[in-house]
Amino acid sequence: MTDKQKKVLYRIIATALLYAVLLVMEHIVKPAFMEQWYVTLVLFLIPYFVIGWDIMYKAVRNISHGQVFDENFLMLIATIGAFVVGEYSEGVAVMLFYQVGELFQSYAVNRSRQSITQLMDICPEYANLEEDGKVSQVDPDDVEVGSIIVVKPGERVPLDGIVIEGESMVDTSSLTGESVPRRVAKDSEIISGCVNGSGLLRVKTTKEFDDSTVTRILELVENASSKKAKAENFITKFAKYYTPVVVIGALLLAVIPPIIFGGNFFDWLQRACIFLVISCPCALVISVPLSFFGGIGAASASGILVKGGNYLEVAADLDTIVFDKTGTLTKGEFKVSEVQPSADKNNTIGKEELLEIAAYGEGYSNHPIANSIREAYGKTLSMERVTDTEEIAGHGIHTFIDGREVYLGNAKLMDAQNIAYTENKTAGTVVYVACNNVFAGSIVISDTVKEGSKDAIRDMKQVGVKKTVMLTGDRQAAADAVAAELGIDEVHAELLPADKVGQVEKLLGAQNEKERLAFVGDG
């Protein structure tokens, strides 16, 4: 709770105590000095001014700026009207309850803002600029395109760029939600906001700070409230016309009936004040945008960026949700689940040797799959046994271990090298191993499903999502196993990123105008 909110709370407590005492004095004790109406008026004005002085100030200030018909003005004339007709306690009560509601609203908004502020931590505070062989810390905003920056282990990348020297694993979870670190090396693109792992990187910047990924994300968060949903726009327009109609209606109610039908003028004035209080649109005007703002804040606290209330409103109409697998539905934490030597009768390599070969072959890699193989091997590696290691993008590794030529990778690598192999259909990621162009066996690395994924899929279907789809680059067997465990309706496996785009476009093309589709993940 902020200092401002605490002050309002203290005023509410003080007013409530004074109000309670005055009610007891007015209706139970009834001292002699309260027999005079003006004494009672003065006594009730004390808590009224304690709780309502800021409302009166806002109303007068807004009127001076040409903004007459707002909730402050309505509360002011309604409570003053209550005092005019002698309902002093009602005037104080209305203002007191209004301030209690305002305090709850302010607290809710502040909690949402704090959640959003936590997301701002992805913004880097400095950049290590390299000039003439010297490195100095500067503001990221002062770095020009084409400059060389140094990103040390553990530091947040300040600007988008291309790696010109170094190799490392970078944590992109704060930007993409992907739990598995991404490997970057020379000529790799790297985006601002992600955290460098264990390697030192020299990066040539390709964008200014104002155009960088992290800046665009922060702008989306800061401007989220400006993108209003249809319901918010309707309420704003509604209040613009509704408020003056209510004020004019109350004025007519106070004046016309006593003139036409007769009766006590103060009775009709009292009715007009009651009409003003119950017709005040503040609850309606506040509740709709507050609910969207609260939703955006709650989402940001869970690491979800909502670009605006209009997008939150669309999310309520989703009927198809497409998921990436690794790091989204699964943990992205890989463990060796099976070591299967070749069944060929001429094969002399057993389980332990097969795992040893794979561990040495993956000895220089920081990829999570490589880490899981080395972890399963569990022994210290003497890397002098390994020579001429080459990583084949999208396929695997080619290396020499103790003079033996070794290939480790997926089925595509075996096919590319014309190595006959036995397909392993076990669910999981399969690494095939070949020594001297002869298939030696396979190792299965399995990912585990995230806690809560199954419940999330079930809950989505209960609230109206008709179809869930999973897209993955993993093998069909592994994808089917995860889909069966989670209750996914449709699965597309062994996809490249471009293939995933194509599948999403097909799904979109099959929908009608009223249906909505969402994609979850960084695939």
Which pLDDT does position 284 carry in this prediction? 61
CA 281 – CA 287 distance, rounded (Å): 10
- Stretch 492-511: mean pLDDT, rounded? 83
**Would you call 17 exposed, middle or buried from its count of C-beta atoms within 10 A (0-12, 13-18, 19+)?**
exposed
Which pLDDT does position 432 carry in this prediction? 93
The one catalytic residue in 70, 160, 324, 474 is: 324
More confident residue, 499 or 433: 433
Reply yes or no on whether the pLDDT at 204 is more than 90: yes
**Could you read off the pLDDT of 10-44 as tens digits, one per residue?**
999 999 999 999 988 887 877 877 778 888 889 99
Joined together, the tokens standing for residue 419 give 């190595």
Reported as a pLDDT band with limits 50, 70 and 90, residue 285 is low
**Could you read off the pLDDT of 217-228 as tens digits, one per residue?**
666 655 555 555
Reply yes or no on whether the pLDDT at 102 is more than 70: yes
Reply yes or no on whether the pLDDT at 83 is more than 80: yes
* Among the ranges given (5-9, 298-302, 350-354), the one the predictor scored with the smallest mean pLDDT: 298-302
Q: Give Cα 132 to chain centroid, integer Å.
A: 41
Q: Give Cα 207 to chain centroid, integer Å.
A: 25
For this structure, is 324 an active site residue? yes
Longest dimension (CA), the chain: 114
Tell me whether strands 490-492 and 467-471 are parallel, antiparallel or unpaired.
parallel
Which pLDDT does position 176 carry in this prediction? 59
What residues does 431 pair with on adjacent strands? 443
CA-based nearest residue to 318, from 482, 521, 508, 509 = 508
Do 124 and 193 meet the contact criterion of CB atoms below 8 Å apart?
yes
* Among the ranges given (239-243, 268-272, 278-282, 424-428), the one the predictor scored with the smallest mean pLDDT: 278-282
For 321, the enclosing helix (H) or strand (E) is strand 318-324
Reply yes or no on whether the pLDDT at 477 is more than 80: no
Average pLDDT, the chain: 82
State what percent of residues in the chain have pLDDT above 70: 85
Do 208 and 152 meet the contact criterion of CB atoms below 8 Å apart?
no
* Among the ranges given (153-167, 181-195, 208-222, 306-320), the one the predictor scored with the smallest mean pLDDT: 208-222
Helices (H), 280-319: 282-301, 309-315
Joined together, the tokens standing for residue 383 give 């890397």
State what percent of residues in the chain have pLDDT above 90: 17
Reported as a pLDDT band with limits 50, 70 and 90, residue 119 is low
Helices (H), 302-410: 309-315, 351-361, 368-377
Reported as a pLDDT band with limits 50, 70 and 90, residue 76 is confident
Reply yes or no on whether the pLDDT at 468 is more than 90: yes
Sheet of 182-184: strand order equals 182-184, 168-171, 195-196
What residues does 517 pair with on adjacent strands? 320
Which pLDDT does position 45 carry in this prediction? 93
Give me Rg for the CA atoms of the chain: 34
Instruction: Output DSSP code: residue 224.
Output: G
Q: Which residue has the tokens 């009651």?
A: 274
Which pLDDT does position 265 carry in this prediction? 80
Which pLDDT does position 50 carry in this prediction? 93
Which pLDDT does position 229 carry in this prediction? 53
**Would you call 237 exposed, middle or buried from its count of C-beta atoms within 10 A (0-12, 13-18, 19+)?**
exposed
CA-based nearest residue to 223, from 332, 116, 100, 102 = 116
**Could you read off the pLDDT of 39-73 as tens digits, one per residue?**
888 999 999 999 999 988 988 888 888 777 777 77
CA 22 – CA 47 distance, rounded (Å): 9
Reply yes or no on whether the pLDDT at 275 is more than 60: yes
Do 253 and 271 meet the contact criterion of CB atoms below 8 Å apart?
yes
Reported as a pLDDT band with limits 50, 70 and 90, residue 214 is confident
- Stretch 299-320: mean pLDDT, rounded? 75
Reply yes or no on whether the pLDDT at 303 is more than 80: no
Question: Who's near 222: CB < 8 A, 6+ residues apart?
Answer: none
More confident residue, 198 or 13: 13
More confident residue, 120 or 289: 289
More confident residue, 459 or 250: 459
Which pLDDT does position 400 carry in this prediction? 92
